Every structure is written in C-alpha cells, then in structure tokens.
Structure 1
Amino acid sequence: MADGAINIDLKLKSDKFNREIKESSKLVNEFGSNAGEKLDKAFKENTDKAINKAKLTKLS
C-alpha cells in the first residue's frame, strides 16, 4: 500500500471568480434580511384573523 499526495492546481479567471464569490456572499447575507419583521407582521395578521373569527363565532 502506497501513501501519497495528489496536488490539484486550478486556474481560474480572477475577475469572473471574484464576481461569483461576491454574488454568492451577497445572496447568503441577504437570505435572512427582514425575516424578523416579516415574521412579526405575519403573526399579527394571523392573530387578528383568529380574533375576528372568534368574535364572529361568539355572535352567531
């Protein structure tokens, strides 16, 4: 059994590679942007709907 190492050299066009890294980084950073505010808004909307439905049920 032989022990060894393999080295792989990649040649990339730096301008394209750097642009793709920046775009990927931006996507990851923006993934959770405003998530808390959207959650709060959705929660309030759904609780308001539940309250209104309960009021209508009580009146029936």
Structure 2
Amino acid sequence: MTNIQAVADFLENFAPSRLAEDWDNVGLLMGDPLAEAVRVMTCLTITPASAAEAIER
C-alpha cells in the first residue's frame, strides 16, 4: 500500500521545496498523509473546479 506521504515524499524528491518561491504553496496542502493513495492528481491551484474533478475521477 502506498500512502499519501510516500507520494508527497516522491514529489519533494523530484521538485524540492527549497527551490520554491516565497509565495509558492508547496507540499501536501490538504488530506491525510497516512491515507492510502489510490490515484494522484496534481494542480497548481486548488479551486472548487479542480477539487470537484479530483473527486469525480
């Protein structure tokens, strides 16, 4: 089982948060890091539309 934290760690390794700008929101912004990762969707800005799409898919 892969959890959300493992996915976040992979993304941190791929694109380190130390390279982010001060105004960037980086890392896991919502959700339980220990929950099982069944699917992954990334986006630059979490909006109602992107959240609805993630739930729908």
Please indicate the TM-score interval, normalised by the length of the shorter structure.
Answer: under 0.3
TM-score by length of 1: 0.23
Q: Which has the higher contact order (CA 8 A, sep 6+)?
A: 2
Higher helix share: 1
